[in-house]
Structure formats: structure tokens, C-alpha cells
Amino acid sequence: MGALHFGKCYETSQAADAALWSSVAPVVVPGSPTLLQPNPPPFFHVAEFVNGSWLLRKYEGSTLKSSHAVPASNYQTCNVAESATDGFILAWAVVAVWGAAWAISMLRRPLSMR
């Protein structure tokens, strides 16, 4: 069974996690100025794939400040083969409609020459 994420059926939940977390943009937060450091480097919050798992990491400049695992995701189940069959049927339906429209235009052509 596959994992359904935003209407797309992925073969595994790991593939769905990759689609989810790889599309997350980094968040930049300005640093807090102090008396000793009036212009601190900003904080970056990013999702990274490290050693086979997704981690949410916080950097100050280029220094890693914290790291923790992403929350667990619960996906609805789906059948990848069934999704492919549905797409195949839809594609042939579009071809059939296009063919019917072409055939009708070819049949009307001799009638409109009179």
C-alpha cells in the first residue's frame, strides 16, 4: 500500500515524507541584538535529511544550535497501481474524445462544400 500526500499516491511513507519535508523553505529569523553583539547573525530554521531521517535544525549563522526529529506523519493509504490505471483510462478517454471530434469534422467537410 502507498501513502497519499496532497492527492498524490507515493509508493512508501518515506517517499511521501521526502515530498513533504523537501518542499519546506528555510525560515530566517533576525538575531537578538545584545550590548556585546549589536548586529548578531540571523537564525535559520531548516528541514534536512541526515543519516536516513528528516531533522528540523536551527542555525545561528553557520553554527548549529539545535536539532530534533520531525514530527511523525500519518498518511492515508492508497494503491499506486490503481492510481496508474485511473490515469491510463483517463488518457484513453481524452484520446477518444479528440478522435470523435476529428471524425465529426471530417464527416462534415464534404457536406459543407455544396
Ordered DSSP codes for 54-66: EEEEEEETTEEEE
Instruction: Please indicate, yes or no, whether residues 65 and 106 belong to a single structural domain of this protein.
Output: no
Tens-level pLDDT at each residue, the chain (114 residues): 788 888 888 888 888 888 888 887 888 887 767 667 677 778 888 888 888 888 889 888 788 888 998 888 888 888 877 767 878 899 999 999 999 999 988 888 776 665
Domain range for 58 is: 2-78
Instruction: Please indicate, yes or no, whether residues 60 and 6 belong to a single structural domain of this protein.
Output: yes
Instruction: Please indicate, yes or no, whether residues 38 and 73 belong to a single structural domain of this protein.
Output: yes
How far is the C-alpha of 96 from the C-alpha of 105, rounded, in Å? 14
Instruction: Please indicate, yes or no, whether residues 60 and 99 belong to a single structural domain of this protein.
Output: no
Number of domains in the chain: 2
Which helix (H) or strand (E) covers residue 49, if one does?
strand 43-50
Instruction: Please indicate, yes or no, whether residues 64 and 74 belong to a single structural domain of this protein.
Output: yes
Instruction: Please indicate, yes or no, whether residues 59 and 91 belong to a single structural domain of this protein.
Output: no
Nine cell digits for residue 68 = 530534533
Whether the pTM exceeds 0.85: the reply is no
Q: What is the pLDDT of residue 37?
A: 67
Q: What is the pLDDT of residue 113?
A: 61
At position 94, the amino acid (one-letter code) is V
